[in-house]
Amino acid sequence: MPRCSWAEAPDLVAYHDEEWGRPVTDERGLFERLSLEAFQSGLSWSTILRKRGGFRRAFAGFDPEAVAGFGERDVERLLADTAIVRNRAKIDATIANARAIVGLREAGESLVELIWSFAPPPREPATDLGDLEPATPESRALARALKARGFRFVGPTTAYATMEAAGLVNDHLADCDVRAEVEAEQAAARRRLAATHGRR
């Protein structure tokens, strides 16, 4: 079936068809997407997908409270773990971000509501990958909001990649066979979130 041209290898095809752009509206899911997009910086997405199971094991299933409790011994363990990307700055950022998520809760905020508040209105689909920008005004604003709350390694490009991965935007190309299905799922998620949080 017609797909976005980046979905070539089997693991990328499965990710494209089943996950990319489909709404993620739970805290752990968003923490995982944000973390993996940060680890992907400078690497191929295929590398991250191959190590995804390792990341989940290493970071306690991306349970923010568990990761927030990681100390120096855990960092040393992670730096020795060949099942993940062993980058000290990204590991430290993931732990800091877990603590920031716990801080959001304590301040009466939620990661889900914060991230989804930056979802832009639906737009016309691109016909070519070259038409997609690596960052947008919304992703720049999201990056600023996350940094203001203590998040690290969340620049505008990482923020936008998270928005794509978590279904805040639909960057499946116009002729992609799953675009319409993803768009319907996104619209349903927006309605659910509006009902839950009392906003559009």
Q: Are 107 and 113 in contact (CB under 8 A)?
A: no
Per DSSP, the three-state class of 178 is coil
Q: What is the pLDDT, as a whole number, of residue 67?
A: 98
pLDDT tens digits for 3-43?
A: 999 999 999 999 999 999 999 999 999 999 999 999 999 99
What residue spans define the domains of the chain? 10-197
pLDDT, tens digit (0-9, with 9 covering 90-100), for 166-191: 999 999 999 999 999 999 999 999 99
110 vs 198, more confident: 110
Please give the C-alpha separations between residue 50 and each of 46, 101, 123, in angstroms, as whole numbers. Answer: 6, 26, 32
Question: What is the C-alpha separation between 129 and 75, in angstroms, rounded?
Answer: 37
pLDDT tens profile 68-107: 999 999 999 999 999 999 999 999 999 999 999 999 999 9
Top pLDDT among 112 and 197 is at 112
Q: What is the mean pLDDT of the chain?
A: 96
pTM of the model: 0.95
pLDDT band at 198 (very low <50, low <70, confident <90, very high): low
Known catalytic membership, residue 45? yes
In the CATH scheme, what is the code of domain 10-197?
1.10.340.30
Q: Could you confirm whether 37 is annotated as catalytic?
A: yes
In the block, tokens 């919304």 appear at 138
Q: Is residue 1's pLDDT more than 90?
A: no
**Token output for 166:** 């978590």
Task: Considering the candidates 6, 45, 113, 183, report the single residue annotated as catalytic.
Answer: 45
Sign of the Cα pseudo-torsion (78, 148, 198, 138, in order):
negative
Residue 65 a catalytic site member: no
Active-site hit among 15, 20, 116, 160: 15
Give residue 164's identity as a one-letter amino acid code.
Answer: E
Catalytic, out of 20, 27, 32, 37: 37
